[in-house]
Amino acid sequence: MPFTGTLPPPSGTEAEMTRHIHTMYALSTSHWVTQITRAAADLRIADHVAEGRVTAEAIAAAESSHPRSTYRLMRACVTVGILGHSDEEGFFLTPVGELLRTDTPVSMRDGVMVQGARGHWQSWGLFPEAVRSGRNQVEQAVGGRHLFDYFARNPQESALFSRSMSNSTSIVSRDIVTLLDLGDAAQVVDLGGADGELLLSLMRANRAIHGAVFDLPTVVEGARQAAEKAGVTERFTAVGGDFFETVPAADYYLLKWILHDWPDEQCVQILRNCREAARPGARVLVVEALIGAAEGPDPIALLDMNMLSVSDGQERSLAEYDTLFAAAGWRRVAQTPTRTLYWLIELEAV
């Protein structure tokens, strides 16, 4: 029997409730999008499409993946905005999808892979427990007091994280190079600098400075290789160590996305170690997001939840950072926003 009748238009109240239902559905299923995007990155779909493989069959052959499942994934990528599709062209990259290419200067592929990989993903699965206890659940999820403990035992994921940090740094480093005045600083030390993307950008722009990346011994080899590729090895040193113990002497310290990883006491210890090792007149650049009051939507509040999930740290307000600086013998002398979420905060010794 054919369908009969016509549904009445929804009332204003019904339409509003439908919108709320759709919003909550999107919120509760957003983890689907994370893993769809991760799978697209893992299969290098953006690279393949850019190289002319515009069908699921071609990509499946290149990746040894299941053709029908690959098509279903690519169809979902159209829905989330990574790909487009037409009968004439097949699949094509959107501007968002271009960011998953490995050969673009602002590639976000590694970062997408990290967010969906075991270290972050398993820890987020225990997030309610983190909120209840006030402590991350990394040990219960993957083992290790902190995500970096897990990375120390999983070098492949650690390397992925380091590359993602370098890619993210490349986005903000252009602003830092433009805004930062190193003055007469001769020796610049990048604490926790991973592959050294920020430091190397500064060294390329200022051939008078010598630089050192100070990071875990398992990490600094990547910095050495990056310095060689950048052609600055004669002015560059990679030093393995623990910034909770001691740091090298410097005229200028770079602390990019370091303090938000740690609780207050350990932040003060890092800053105090810098104060003790600093040369006369030394300064510090802190690069961090600044969280606001709960007066409206704030993307930093979401970033703060990631810190609760996978670290012992948190995002902080400028006033909260000032308290840490003062406790370690530094004072803030300047701050300026970048075109990203992050601020540049310069310190001098008290």
* Positions marked active-site: 260
Query: In terms of Cα–Cα distance, which of 218, 207, 205 is closest to 155?
Result: 218
Name the CA dihedral angle for 77, 82, 87, 88, rounded to a multiple of 10 degrees. -150
> What CA–CA distance (Å, rounded) separates 146 from 1?
63
The answer to whether 187 and 210 have CB atoms below 8 angstroms apart is yes
Cross-strand partners of 253: 189, 284
The answer to whether 310 and 147 have CB atoms below 8 angstroms apart is yes
Transcribe 126-168 into DSSP letters.
THHHHHHHTS--HHHHTSSSSHHHHHHH-HHHHHHHHHHHHHH
- Write the DSSP symbol of residue 235: G
Task: Give pairs for 91-100: CB < 8 Å, separation 24+.
Answer: 91/49, 91/54, 91/55, 91/56, 92/49, 92/54, 93/46, 93/49, 93/50, 97/40, 97/45, 97/46, 97/49, 98/46, 98/50, 99/46, 100/37, 100/40, 100/41, 100/45, 100/46, 100/47
CA angle 258, 259, 264 (to 5 degrees): 150
DSSP element (H, E) containing 332: strand 330-337
